[in-house]
């Protein structure tokens, strides 16, 4: 009777399930690596960095790491961030060139400088100075993607209101009026980002992201992933969130920040995720995007916007209950 009462009490009070590793998409090896880092005595930051680095090395879905998503010039460039939910420090890189381990560089920005975000060629120089190896991020696959795109009149692309009509030519473009309806990118996996939240046994939260950005992006384009509050966010007193999808749209709404603030005031993780996605839907009903959320007790949820060809969003959870990287999914709404 007494034991039974205690058991019921624990369940009802939302018994903490820590540590927790949760990440976007079916990237199981990333969660496995993050979990191993924790078990080996690493910090939550180590877990996020190692988990996302694993995806960079494995080129998860071709949309994380080298050799994927070439830009309009055929170059692969990387965006990444990492955040410490105890100190609220952030390190991030955007449009990083020639360095494979983007989240490692992001962590160096956080721990070896007073800055938050470094971009482009200068970020690469910083990385080299910090001992990261510069190498070509081009692969046969990225060359093929780029060559096919050139052959197809540089379609689809992200230009609008320019002449000549971007549905016919590769440019150079000038401001002008568009004659034909341009072809939009419909490949949903052109936007996959690894976003990861790790909560330690002691409640410390870290979050991070890594991606090679949107396929055929304009050179210089930086998406939501390295922007704190957009790509991911965490606060050890509120929770953590991370997103994936059409970053050009998502970064206008800081969905990760919104979700963490909602969880801080007691909103359940799945509702917090849903509310943040709903906010974007008001303005962009057809945007493609998803969010994962976890609160301080290790409860988690996810939400995604339903668009043609995309009705469920996969994510991976690793805690002492799953005891393995468990693939889960949420129905988009
Ligand atoms: C986290 O969310 C769960 C529901 O999913 C809730 O039971 C629990 O109280 C929440 N924790 C906090 C600290 O808000
Ligand atoms: C890449 O392409 C080159 C030349 O087309 C070829 O020699 C090389 O073996 C290819 N590499 C891989 C890893 O397929």
Ligand 2 center to residue 139 CA distance, Å? 9
Token match 């694993």: residue? 54
Instruction: Reply yes or no on domain 3-139+185-331 having CATH 3.60.20.30.
Output: yes
Q: Are 117 and 105 in contact (CB under 8 A)?
A: no
Ligand 1 contact, 299 CB (< 6 A): yes
> Which one, of 300, 289, 224, 222, lies nearest residue 260 by Cα?
300
Q: CA 130 → CA 90, 104, 106, 275, distances in Å?
A: 18, 10, 11, 40
Q: Are 37 and 53 in contact (CB under 8 A)?
A: no
46 labelled binding-site residue: no
Its pTM stands at 0.93
End-to-end CA distance of the chain: 43
**pLDDT per position as a tens digit, 158-200:** 998 998 888 778 989 999 887 666 666 667 766 789 999 999 9
Which of 51-55, 65-69, 169-173, 187-191 shows the lowest per-residue confidence on average (mean pLDDT)? Answer: 187-191
For residue 270, which atom of ligand 1 is closest to its CA? 5
Phi-psi region of 65 (alpha: psi -120 to 50; beta: other; left: phi over 0): left
Q: What mean pLDDT is predicted for residues 215-243?
A: 97
Q: Are 103 and 91 in contact (CB under 8 A)?
A: no
Q: DSSP letter string over 128-141?
A: HHTTPPB-----HH
**pLDDT per position as a tens digit, 237-276:** 999 999 999 999 999 999 999 999 999 999 999 999 999 9
Helix residue ranges, H only, 163-317: 247-250, 255-264, 269-283
Q: CA 199 → CA 11, 36, 67, 290, distances in Å?
A: 20, 14, 31, 20
Ligand 1 contact, 75 CB (< 6 A): no
Distance, in Å, from the CA atom of 13 to the CA atom of 26, rounded to the nearest integer, reads 30
Rg (CA), the chain: 20
For atom 6 of ligand 1, which residue has the closest CA?
14
Ligand 1 center to residue 295 CA distance, Å? 6
Distance, in Å, from the CA atom of 104 to the CA atom of 280, rounded to the nearest integer, reads 30
330 labelled binding-site residue: no
221 labelled binding-site residue: yes
For residue 14, which atom of ligand 1 is closest to its CA? 7
> Which one, of 30, 11, 31, lies nearest residue 20 by Cα?
31
pLDDT class for 10, splitting at 50, 70, 90?
very low
Ligand 1 contact, 13 CB (< 6 A): no
β pairing state of 300-304 and 174-175: unpaired
Ligand 1 contact, 12 CB (< 6 A): no
Which of 7-11, 90-94, 204-208, 263-267 shows the lowest per-residue confidence on average (mean pLDDT)? Answer: 7-11
3-state secondary structure of 147: helix
Q: Which structure tokens are listed for 260? A: 């963490």
Ligand 1 contact, 238 CB (< 6 A): no
Q: What mean pLDDT is predicted for residues 193-215?
A: 97
């Amino acid at each position: 009777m007494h034991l039974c009462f205690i058991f019921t009490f624990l369940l009802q009070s939302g018994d903490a399930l820590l540590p927790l590793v949760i990440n976007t998409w079916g990237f199981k090896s990333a969660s496995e690596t993050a979990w191993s880092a924790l078990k080996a005595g690493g910090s939550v930051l180590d877990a996020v960095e190692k988990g996302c680095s694993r995806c960079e090395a494995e080129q998860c879905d071709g949309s994380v790491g080298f050799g994927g998503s070439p830009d309009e010039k055929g170059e692969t460039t990387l965006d990444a961030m990492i955040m410490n939910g105890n100190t609220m420090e952030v390190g991030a890189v955007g449009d990083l060139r020639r360095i494979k381990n983007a989240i490692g560089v992001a962590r160096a920005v956080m721990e070896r400088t007073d800055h938050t975000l470094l971009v482009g060629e200068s970020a690469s120089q910083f990385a080299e100075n910090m001992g990261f190896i510069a190498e070509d991020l081009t692969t046969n696959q990225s060359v093929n993607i780029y060559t096919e795109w050139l052959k197809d009149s540089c379609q689809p692309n992200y230009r609008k209101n320019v002449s000549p009509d971007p549905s016919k030519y590769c440019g150079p473009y000038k401001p002008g009026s568009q004659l034909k309806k341009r072809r939009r990118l419909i490949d949903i996996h052109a936007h996959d980002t690894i976003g990861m939240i790790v909560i330690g046994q002691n409640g410390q939260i870290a979050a991070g992201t890594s991606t090679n950005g949107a396929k055929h992006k304009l050179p210089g384009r930086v998406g939501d992933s390295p922007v704190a509050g957009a790509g991911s966010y965490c606060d050890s007193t509120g929770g953590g969130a991370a997103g994936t999808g059409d970053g050009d749209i998502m970064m206008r709404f800081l969905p990760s920040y919104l979700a963490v603030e909602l969880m801080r005031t007691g909103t359940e993780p799945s509702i917090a995720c849903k509310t943040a996605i709903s906010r974007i839907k008001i303005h962009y009903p057809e945007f493609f995007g998803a969010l994962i959320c976890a609160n301080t007790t290790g409860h988690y949820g996810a939400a995604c916007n339903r668009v043609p060809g995309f009705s469920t969003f996969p994510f991976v959870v690793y805690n002492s209950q799953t005891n393995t990287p468990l693939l889960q999914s949420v129905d988009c709404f």
